[in-house]
Amino acid sequence: MTDSLPARWLPNPGAQRSDTYPAVDEILPRGISRLTRSFHRQIPGYKISPLKSLPRLADMLGVGGIWVKDESARLTLNSFKVLGGSFAIYRTIQRRLGMEHLELPFTELMSDPIRAQLGDLTFAAATDGNHGKGVAWAAHALGFKSVIYVHKATSAARIKAIEANGARVVVVDGTYDDAVRQVTVDAEREGWQVISDTSWEGYADIPRWVMQGYTTLLNEAQEQLAAQGIIRPTHVLAQAGVGALAAATIGFYSQLFGAERPINVVVEPEKAACLYRSIEIGDGQPHSFPGDLDTIMAGLACGDPSPIAWDILRSCADVFLSCPDYVAAKGMRVYAVPLAGDPFIVSGESGAVTLGALMFTLERPELADLKAALRLDRDSQILLINSEGNTDPNHFRRIVWDGLVNVPAAYKEKF
């Protein structure tokens, strides 16, 4: 499979262009990004993450602009995931207190009276790394315990980072999806509160809150684009594991611009392409991806789509891409060694796949049909999200320094 195409792609026959999108309004009610950002602003250390422009690369590739929302600078956590985990914990606390219609200040959440009402509460999550780290950080900041389940292929560096944020880590002999199932069983027995970014039957509110939490970064990005005189991106490329970030991103822009929304693209690893497979099967339902999910994109190594995320993506995503690992590796290297004048960006494997996919789409004759379908040209203003920084330093060095997962000769640039 090392010589597989840089991308397989499928158009979404169910994609809509409308003034309203019921699936989006259900998951992301209008005004929610204002509420989430109001909450996140109160978190100690909160800063707007940078939106970085790559004008030299855009010119070389023949597009108008490439804009990267750099979540490697989010708090001290190297990832956007804390936005979802912290907001879901906040909303869970509100519900437990019977105060769902009140905005509780962050400082009040940390107060002794609130702690006394909540009792000895433990938050639990399954993770490939970043979501668990975000949940652990938020729980620790509010004075609560956390237990984070990881799969057996999770790196020591990612486990150590979770433990450094106050959590107890449990390693499950299986995949990420096995970890999700196991933490659910154990939490029921132990009385823990699960904070998951994926949904299942009977469990949708907390994953919905996680997705709502992600809208803070999108609200910031839209302000930052407007400051540059860009009313809206023409294209959004969003990476997907269970689909929560992709759905939040695509849903946010679809709701904001209605029928004038951007062209939306979902990008997945070819070894964990559950959303691509769902479109390929074509019955309108989410489908699991079989196999061991063995991809370098650890944060996207998910075999089961989130049903509530799928509801948004099947309505608002225009194209689904499935990419081999070398696409993400190339994206990491380009971010790390930019053209003269473009900013340096530290991006992990899951954060860089959209840049790699964009470059191959614009440069490779094998993907000319995809480029034409996406209408990429000199007027295109493209938004990417660097969802994580260097979350696994040893693996990062092996890719960027040593050339691990190299681009096959057939698809290398000819200088």
383 forms beta bridges with 67, 236
Instruction: Determine which one of 52, 69, 70, 81 is catalytic.
Output: 81
Instruction: Determine which one of 128, 304, 318, 392 is catalytic.
Output: 128
In sign, the C-alpha dihedral spanning 124, 126, 132, 135 is negative
Q: What is the spatial distance between Cα 225 and Cα 212, in angstroms, rounded to a whole number?
A: 20
* Structure tokens belonging to residue 394: 């040893």
Strands 235-239, 145-151: pairing is unpaired
Measuring CA to CA, which residue among 311, 323, 320, 370 is closest to residue 349?
A: 323
The set of residues, in sequence order, having a beta carbon less than 8 Å from that of 199 and lying 6+ positions away, is 207, 208, 306, 307, 308, 309
Contact 172, 182 (CB under 8 A): yes
3-state secondary structure of 72: helix
Contact 17, 261 (CB under 8 A): yes
Measuring CA to CA, which residue among 300, 296, 323 is closest to residue 404?
A: 296
Q: Which helix (H) or strand (E) holds 395?
A: helix 393-400
Active site residue 81: yes
Q: Where are the alpha helices (DSSP H) in 98-175?
A: 106-109, 112-118, 130-141, 156-163
* Structure tokens belonging to residue 56: 């030299």
- DSSP character for 244? H
Active site residue 377: no
* Structure tokens belonging to residue 276: 């691509």
Measuring CA to CA, which residue among 241, 207, 203 is closest to residue 328?
A: 241
What number of other Cβ atoms are within 10 A of residue 55's Cβ? Answer: 15
Which amino acid appears at position 37 of this protein? Answer: R
- DSSP character for 102? S
Q: What is the spatial distance between Cα 33 and Cα 226, in angstroms, rounded to a whole number?
A: 17
Query: DSSP assignment of 4-25, as one string?
Result: S-S-EEEE-TT----S--HHHH
Residue 269 phi, psi dihedral angles, 5° rounding: -70, 140
Write out the catalytic residue numbers. 81, 128
